[in-house]
Amino acid sequence: MPTLKGLLFNQFATEGLSALVEEMQSKYTAKKGRRFNHDNITYEISRPTLNGNTIEFEISSKIPEDEIKTPKAMQSYFQQIKKVLGKGKRKPESIEMENIVWDSRKETEKKRDYVKLQYRFPLDDLFDNKVVAKRHEQVMSGQADPSIPDSPSAFTKAGSVVLAVVRETMHQFGKESLVKLMDANKQIKASLKG
């Protein structure tokens, strides 16, 4: 059964990732739902889910099929993406190639291949006690901080600061992960044109 902490953190993690979706849709070409298009590649950011004591979310990008024609070339593209994203700190929990068959009117069938990245965060990794303490001190000394929610679920001002930090952390981490995927796609597309 979910805890109050988990439910609140998931709510504010959702706000952080939704703000990221809006930011990307305004910066690039907006598509339906939580998707946008940049450089002929469609990206999607899922809503986070609470799973036990962790928050999970996915980021995916369409493999540019109009530039990569054969299944073997698509598999090679995916392996290169996997290699690039498997390096560094905060790697995805899983990197998969997913095939989606889309048929909106039962007349045409479209097949799309995606790179799907799954991320998983323990709840306690979504905030830093030092950051919370510093911001709480600033708020208590009278400095206005419009990013801190007036949430009836947070019983103290410190609780509200924690929720604001959770929202900001998810937004920032989601953005870093997305930019890393976008850079990987750009790098690999450029190497294919070689």
- At 93-126, the pLDDT tens digits run 999 987 765 555 555 555 678 899 999 999 999 9
pLDDT value for 191: 82
CA separation for the pair 161, 154 (Å, rounded): 9
In the predicted model, what is the mean pLDDT of residues 164-177? 94
As a whole number of angstroms, the distance between CA 164 and CA 162 comes to 5
What pLDDT band is residue 182 in, cutting at 50, 70 and 90? very high
Provide the residue ranges of all domains of the chain, joining segments of one domain with +.
4-193
Distance of CA 75 to CAs 19, 69, 72, Å?
32, 11, 5
